[in-house]
Chain A
Amino acid sequence: MEISTRSLWTLIHGMGFGALYLLACSGAIVALYQRYSTEPPPQNPAGRDRFLGIYLSIMAALAWLTVLTGTYIIYPWYRAAPPKDTVSLVAYPRSLLLSHPATSQWHLIGMEWKEHVAWLVPIAITAAAFIAIRYARDLKHHPQLRSTLLGFTAVSLFAAGIAGFFGAMLDKNAPVDGGQTIHLVQGE
Chain B
Amino acid sequence: MSAPTNINSDHSADLLNGSGAAAILSAGIGSFAVAFFAIAADKSAFVKNLFVFYKPTGALSGETTVAILLWLAAWAILNWRWRKRTVSLRRINVIALALLGFSLLLTFPPIGDLF
Contact = CB atoms under 8 A, between A and B. Distances in A.
B14 A141 contact: yes
Chain B: interface size category: 35 or more
Most central of A134, A147, A148 by chain B CB within 10 Å: A148
B58 to A, nearest CB: 7
B82 interface: no
Interface string B83-115: 000000110010011001101100111100000
B58 A145 contact: no
Given A113-B109, A116-B34, A116-B107, A134 B15 contact: yes
A55 interface: no
A141 B96 contact: no
Given A79-B57, A120-B103, 7 more contacts: A67-B64, A112-B109, A113-B108, A117-B107, A124-B31, A144-B10, A152-B100
8 contacts: A71-B64, A109-B110, A123-B68, A124-B100, A127-B24, A148-B24, A155-B97, A155-B100
5 A-B pairs closest in CB distance: A76-B56, A141-B13, A127-B27, A144-B89, A116-B107
Interface of B: 9-10, 12-15, 17, 19-20, 23-24, 26-27, 30-31, 34-35, 38, 54, 56-58, 60-61, 63-64, 67-68, 71, 89-90, 93, 96-97, 100-101, 103-104, 107-110
